[in-house]
């Protein structure tokens, strides 16, 4: 919301003042480009985060499961050894 107000103010300052028409158009185009780039960047960032979440979460989950299974098997092995010694 704050960004939109700021952009409107910048547009008003650039297009509303008594500057040469060419500069006024350039100023408006620059503001539009910056706003478009910011939105595009935000979308790309969100997509990247979503992609990483969908890829990394299963990998981390798999690793955690492997570690859990290994630790359980090691514990079971230790218990078997203890029982054999007893």
- Degrees (nearest 5) of the Cα angle 59, 57, 65? 55
Q: Which structural domain, as residue segments, surrounds residue 37?
A: 2-85
- Predicted pLDDT of residue 19: 46
d(CA 86, CA 82): 6
Query: Residue ranges of the chain with pLDDT lower than 70?
Result: 1-45, 75-76, 78-86
- Predicted pLDDT of residue 3: 58
User: Residue 1 has what DSSP assignment?
Assistant: -
Q: What is the pLDDT of residues 20-43, one digit of tens each?
A: 444 445 555 556 656 666 666 666
Q: For residue 64, what are the CA distances in angstroms to 42, 57, 68, 70, 83?
A: 32, 10, 6, 10, 28
- Predicted pLDDT of residue 74: 72
- Predicted pLDDT of residue 20: 45
- Count: domains in the chain: 1
């Amino acid at each position: 919301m704050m960004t939109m107000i700021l952009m409107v103010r910048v547009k008003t300052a650039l297009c509303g003042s008594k500057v040469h028409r060419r500069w006024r158009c350039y100023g408006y185009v620059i503001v539009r480009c910056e706003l478009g780039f910011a939105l595009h960047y935000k979308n790309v960032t969100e997509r990247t985060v979503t992609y990483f979440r969908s890829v990394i979460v299963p990998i981390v989950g798999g690793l955690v499961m492997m570690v859990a299974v290994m630790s359980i098997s090691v514990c079971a092995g230790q218990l078997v050894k203890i029982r054999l010694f007893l």
